[in-house]
Amino acid sequence: MAVLTTARDAAEGPGAAGRPRAADAGRRRRRLRDDLLAYAFLAAGLLCFAFFSWYPLARGVVLSFQQVNFVTDPTFVGLDNFRALVADPLFWTAWKNTLVFTGLALVLGYLVPLALAILLNELRHVAGFFRVAVYLPVMLPPIVVVLLWKYLYDPGNGLFNTLLRGAHLPESQWTQSSSTAMISLVLVSTWANLGGATLMYLAALQNVPGELYEAAELDGAGVRQRLRHVTLPHLRFIMLVLLLLQIISTMQVFIEPYQLTGTTNPDTVTVMVLIYRYAFTVNNDFGLAAAASVVLFVVLGVFSALYLRLTRRAD
Amino acid sequence: MRPMTRTRLRRALGVLLVAGVALAATGCGSDEDQSADGTVTITVNGLPPATEAANHQRFLDNVAEFERQNPDIRIDAREGKMDPQTFAAKLAGGQLEDVFYVYFTDPANLIAKRQVADISAYVKDFPVVDQIRPEVRRVFSDDAGKLYGLPYKNYSMGLLYSRPLFTKAGLDPDKPPTTWAEVRTAAQKIAALGGGTVGFGEYSKSNTGGWHFTTHMYSRGGEVAVNEGGTWKAAFNNDTGRQVLTQLKEMRWTDDSMGARQSLEWADLLQLMGAGKLGMYLATADNIPTIVNQYKGDFADYGLGPIPDGRGTLGGGEGYMFNAKASPEKIRAGLKWLTFWFTSADRFEAENKWAAEHKLPVGLPEPQIFTGPAAQTQAAADKTYANVPQQNYAPFVAAMGSIPVKLEPPNAQQVYAALDVAMLKVLTDRDANVDQLLADAEKQVNTILSTVR
């Protein structure tokens, strides 16, 4: 302890050494009290994280090497769960589907909010209304969104096919056909989530100094040039951050395929749906589900690390 | 790390540790099977939710009467039935009831995973157990014949149909189709009524497609899995399997008698039937009260015929099993409770009387879990208090004795999940290749069955 105290005193600079000892001790006590108080407040949060995030996380990793029935003691099975995982063709199908979903979600969900944000930023009238309108779907509970779209997609009496029929256009099977199932799911997720991304872009856009546009205009730059040379360079950072965030969140897509196409449709089984299927609806195998979760965790970990590095550098 | 930060970290960990110990200490409780005065308390689920006031109260009244007769047993009744999504969590957290509710789809898996208690040694004191029909008892037994639970209700699949739609389509509501060829013709006539009317409905989502494919196979005299010299093998990639899928595909695409909306799961067809938009589907008798109560149907509107082709049918039902950690005292108390009410022939009279007074259905063609004198007691009590139109189920009852009731294949949920795909594809893809679908499913099911010991 003595060493530490000295170290702290040293850290507080040359002036500290010359002060009377009693005042010094009092100050230390006060600081200690403040620190303890801070830790006490922090403890609640840390405990919550420890019990509800870190412990389950560690337990999940352990579980991926075990076979459990929750009655007898778990048996360690080494890499058996991971071997079973890579031997399951559905595991690869699920990864393929997840990547397709992520890819499609990026094409739609990444560019559409950007375009919307730029448009909204340019609006001079009723801008407030449109901003609220774009953000509104984010406020709906995801399950409500999915059930709403279930009705829209209904191949019999759904809204989309009714409209198509009215316009004498060919109808679609939407979520029921393997060629349109995935894109149908992406549409739901994009509609539900684009408000958040749009809002972030909009905030970044409003930070672009107006003088830059004025200067560009004076130099004879058209709309496209202003967009390319003023707007986009200012948005580059937020675009990169959102790209990573979106990859991380879309790779965990669950509720759309789970509700609209179920856990047994190979055209739309994603990694999260497969994990759920392993644990709860088909295999009742928690070790296998944990192994699949660990794989997903590692993949998402890479993207999260990239994100952290990026934002830290920006700080 | 700087020294100052290290001290802070150490203090923080200290605080965490203290708080953790305190929490752990409060988490410790006692879990004794028997109190000092010799009373055994068992937790039992299946208590109907308080929103179903009459059923809820009836359960509690039965508990009170049982406790009066057995002063050394206390029953802690809880709401909830079998939910595979929370089962493991309850089991892992020590929250699973001592005596818990299951569907016939659950026991095989629970027995294989050793998550339930063997009750064979205790049932000899409960003679009514010997009168349980052997095929129903087998649902709760392992290959060695050890018993792990008791049935409460059983059902077998038949053809549930809408009598008003039959009449409208010019079909005789007292003579439901008895072959698959007749089903196809009837479905065409019903679908021709238009206005979104579906002739014949079928499932293809959340394992329900595979479950019904199995029923189709049984009805045509086929199997889904067979045991060949100790190894289980898929048994549906054959003419029977082709007939099942081809007929469904033709009904969906050639006849257009199955509706455009597919990828359906359990409640979807009940809802459609309740709305008066569905002609026929494969179902057990217990669907009828659910359609009436939840989907605003009317008992008079539904008829039940035998499974088409009638060469076999799939059985299902409900029952109770015992927590693997339950003590012998608790198992005995649990058996006393189950044989007092659920699995008890003597209670039929009282239960039916009460149900009839509360306008709850009495006299559906099933359950029939008993043979011998117990079955006769039940039949008599059903006859006295019947309040559902039993004549509507006469075609089903007439054929019941001659149609063998078969159990589910091993690893049923996994097998069903694989077969869901074949059902989904023929119902949603006009160009689905039946041979390819069967071959793909066979390969998957063989992999699943290879893990069955």
Distance from CA of B112 to the nearest CA of A (A): 10
Residues A178 and A292 in one domain: yes
We report the CATH number of the domain holding residue B283 as 3.40.190.10
Give the pLDDT score at B33. 58
Q: In this structure, is residue A283 part of a structural domain?
A: yes
Q: Shortest CB distance from B260 goes to which of A7, A47, A155?
A: A155
Domain end point (choices B332, B357, B385): B385
Is there a contact between A265 and B11 if contact means CB atoms under 8 Å apart? no
Residues A98 and A229 in one domain: yes
Provide, as residue numbers in chain A, all residues whose Cβ is less than 8 Å from the Cβ of B265. Answer: 262
Region of poorest pLDDT, from A110-119, B20-29, B216-225, B404-413: B20-29
- Show contacts of A41-49: CB within 8 Å, 24+ apart: A42/B12, A43/B12, A43/B15, A43/B16, A43/B19, A46/B12, A46/B16, A47/B16, A47/B19, A47/B20, A47/B23
Q: In this structure, is residue B21 part of a structural domain?
A: no
Residues A164 and A217 in one domain: yes
Range of the domain at A264: 80-314
Q: pLDDT tens-digit profile of A61-88? A: 999 999 998 888 999 999 999 999 999 9
Interface of B with A in 72-91 (CB under 8 A): 84-85, 88, 91
Provide, as residue numbers in chain A, all residues whose Cβ is less than 8 Å from the Cβ of B6. Answer: 4
Region of poorest pLDDT, from A1-15, B42-56, B435-449: A1-15
Q: Is the pLDDT of residue B37 over 60?
A: yes
Radius of gyration of chain A (CA): 27
Q: In this structure, is residue A86 part of a structural domain?
A: yes
Give the pLDDT score at B299. 95
Residues A38 and A147 in one domain: no
Q: Shortest CB distance from A7 goes to which of B3, B15, B421?
A: B3
Is there a contact between B261 and A36 if contact means CB atoms under 8 Å apart? no
Residues B228 and B185 in one domain: yes
Provide, as residue numbers in chain A, all residues whose Cβ is less than 8 Å from the Cβ of B191. Answer: none
Residues B189 and B131 in one domain: no
Q: What are B231's strand-pairing partners?
A: B228
Residues B237 and B363 in one domain: no
Contact B304/B396 with Cβ under 8 angstroms? yes
Q: Tell me what the mean pLDDT of segment A138-164 comes to.
A: 91
Provide, as residue numbers in chain A, all residues whose Cβ is less than 8 Å from the Cβ of B324. Answer: 71
Give the pLDDT score at B343. 65
Give the pLDDT score at B170. 97
Q: pLDDT tens-digit profile of A229-269? A: 888 888 888 888 888 889 999 999 999 999 999 888 899 99
Provide, as residue numbers in chain B, all residues whose Cβ is less than 8 Å from the Cβ of A2. Answer: none
User: How many distinct structural domains can be found in chain B?
Assistant: 2
Q: Shortest CB distance from B263 goes to which of A39, A261, A282?
A: A261
Distance from CA of B63 to the nearest CA of A (A): 28
Q: In this structure, is residue B170 part of a structural domain?
A: yes
Q: In this structure, is residue A238 part of a structural domain?
A: yes
Residues B209 and B62 in one domain: no
Backbone phi and psi for residue B376, each to the nearest 5 degrees, phi listed first:
-70, -40
Residues B365 and B279 in one domain: no
Q: How far apart are CA B219 and CA B314, in angstroms?
A: 8
Residues B333 and B304 in one domain: no
Q: In this structure, is residue A11 part of a structural domain?
A: no
Is there a contact between A175 and B8 if contact means CB atoms under 8 Å apart? no
Q: pLDDT tens-digit profile of A152-192? A: 998 878 899 999 999 999 988 899 888 899 999 999 999 99
Q: pLDDT tens-digit profile of B74-85? A: 999 999 998 888
The DSSP H or E segment spanning B73 is strand B73-79
Distance from CA of B297 to the nearest CA of A (A): 22
Residues B439 and B344 in one domain: no
The DSSP H or E segment spanning A61 is helix A55-63
Is there a contact between B113 and A284 if contact means CB atoms under 8 Å apart? yes
Give the pLDDT score at A207. 86
Q: Tell me what the mean pLDDT of segment B107-125 comes to.
A: 93
Provide, as residue numbers in chain B, all residues whose Cβ is less than 8 Å from the Cβ of A43. Answer: 12, 15-16, 19
Is there a contact between B3 and A3 if contact means CB atoms under 8 Å apart? yes
The percent of residues above 70 in pLDDT, for chain B, comes to: 91
B20 vs A: CB within 8 A: yes
Distance from CA of A212 to the nearest CA of B (A): 44
Distance from CA of B422 to the nearest CA of A (A): 10
Residues B187 and B282 in one domain: yes
Is there a contact between B91 and A70 if contact means CB atoms under 8 Å apart? yes
Give the pLDDT score at B15. 38
B16 vs A: CB within 8 A: yes
Q: Tell me what the mean pLDDT of segment B370-385 comes to.
A: 88
Provide, as residue numbers in chain B, all residues whose Cβ is less than 8 Å from the Cβ of A9. Answer: none
3-class DSSP assignment, residue A33: helix
Q: Shortest CB distance from B421 goes to which of A71, A175, A266?
A: A266
Q: In this structure, is residue B34 part of a structural domain?
A: no
Q: Is the pLDDT of residue B102 over 50?
A: yes
Residues A52 and A95 in one domain: no
Residues A101 and A181 in one domain: yes
How many other C-beta atoms can be found within 10 angstroms of the C-beta atom of residue A301?
A: 11
Provide, as residue numbers in chain B, all residues whose Cβ is less than 8 Å from the Cβ of A8. Answer: 3-4, 7
Residues B180 and B229 in one domain: yes
Is the alpha carbon torsion for A75, A78, A80, A82 positive or negative? positive
Model confidence at A275, pLDDT cuts 50, 70, 90, reads very high
Is there a contact between B206 and A156 if contact means CB atoms under 8 Å apart? no
Q: Tell me what the mean pLDDT of segment A198-224 comes to.
A: 87
Q: In this structure, is residue B55 part of a structural domain?
A: yes
Provide, as residue numbers in chain A, all residues whose Cβ is less than 8 Å from the Cβ of B421. Answer: 264-266
Q: In this structure, is residue B10 part of a structural domain?
A: no
Q: First-to-last CA distance in chain A?
A: 35
Q: How far apart are CA A275 and CA A260, in angstroms?
A: 17
Is there a contact between A284 and B196 if contact means CB atoms under 8 Å apart? no
B158 vs A: CB within 8 A: no
**Burial of A314: CB neighbours in 10 Å, binned 0-12, 13-18, 19+:** exposed
Mean of pLDDT over chain B? 89
Residues A231 and A142 in one domain: yes
Model confidence at A7, pLDDT cuts 50, 70, 90, reads very low
Model confidence at B47, pLDDT cuts 50, 70, 90, reads very high
Q: Is the pLDDT of residue B7 over 50?
A: no
Q: Tell me what the mean pLDDT of segment B362-379 comes to.
A: 87
Q: Tell me what the mean pLDDT of segment B157-164 comes to.
A: 98
| B253 Cβ contact partners less than 8 Å away, ≥ 6 residues apart | B430
Q: How far apart are CA B95 and CA B151, in angstroms?
A: 23
Determine how β-strand A75-76 pairs with β-strand A66-67.
antiparallel
Residues B55 and B152 in one domain: yes
User: How many distinct structural domains can be found in chain A?
Assistant: 2
Q: In this structure, is residue A12 part of a structural domain?
A: no
Residues B176 and B275 in one domain: yes
Residues A109 and A198 in one domain: yes
Q: Which of B330, B325, B321, B340 is nearest to B35 (CA)?
A: B330
Range of the domain at B442: 158-312+401-449
Q: In this structure, is residue B146 part of a structural domain?
A: yes
Q: In this structure, is residue B27 part of a structural domain?
A: no
Extract the tokens encoding A186: 């992406």
What number of H helices and E strands is found in chain B?
17, 12
B267 vs A: CB within 8 A: no
The DSSP H or E segment spanning B264 is none
ipTM of the complex: 0.79
Model confidence at A19, pLDDT cuts 50, 70, 90, reads low
Q: Tell me what the mean pLDDT of segment A43-55 comes to.
A: 92
What number of H helices and E strands is found in chain A?
16, 2
Q: pLDDT tens-digit profile of B211-243? A: 999 999 999 999 999 998 888 999 999 999 999
We report the CATH number of the domain holding residue A259 as 1.10.3720.10
Model confidence at B24, pLDDT cuts 50, 70, 90, reads very low
Residues A37 and A84 in one domain: no
Q: Shortest CB distance from A42 goes to which of B12, B109, B324?
A: B12
Q: In this structure, is residue A220 part of a structural domain?
A: yes
Residues A190 and A145 in one domain: yes
Is there a contact between A262 and B8 if contact means CB atoms under 8 Å apart? no
Is there a contact between A70 and B3 if contact means CB atoms under 8 Å apart? no
Residue A309, CA distances (Å) to A2, A239, A303 in order: 37, 15, 10
Q: Is the pLDDT of residue A14 over 70?
A: no
Mean of pLDDT over chain A? 87
Domain end point (choices B385, B415, B433): B385
Is there a contact between B262 and A155 if contact means CB atoms under 8 Å apart? yes
Q: In this structure, is residue A6 part of a structural domain?
A: no
Distance from CA of B163 to the nearest CA of A (A): 24
Give the pLDDT score at B17. 37
Q: How many CA atoms lie within 13 A of A241 on its CB side?
A: 17
Domain end point (choices A63, A96, A118): A63
Is there a contact between B11 and A69 if contact means CB atoms under 8 Å apart? no
Residues A49 and A146 in one domain: no
Q: How far apart are CA B85 and CA A39, in angstroms?
A: 38
Is there a contact between A265 and B421 if contact means CB atoms under 8 Å apart? yes
Q: Is the pLDDT of residue B21 over 50?
A: no
3-class DSSP assignment, residue B281: strand
Provide, as residue numbers in chain A, all residues whose Cβ is less than 8 Å from the Cβ of B88. Answer: 70, 279-280, 284, 286
Q: Is the pLDDT of residue B345 over 80?
A: no
B446 vs A: CB within 8 A: no
B442 or A211, which is more confident: B442
Give the pLDDT score at B18. 37
Residues A36 and A184 in one domain: no
Q: In this structure, is residue A244 part of a structural domain?
A: yes
Extract the tokens encoding B164: 């008003």
Q: In this structure, is residue B3 part of a structural domain?
A: no
Give the pLDDT score at A85. 95
Residues B197 and B298 in one domain: yes
Minimum Cα–Cα distance from A161: chain B residue? B260
Q: Is the pLDDT of residue A9 over 60?
A: no
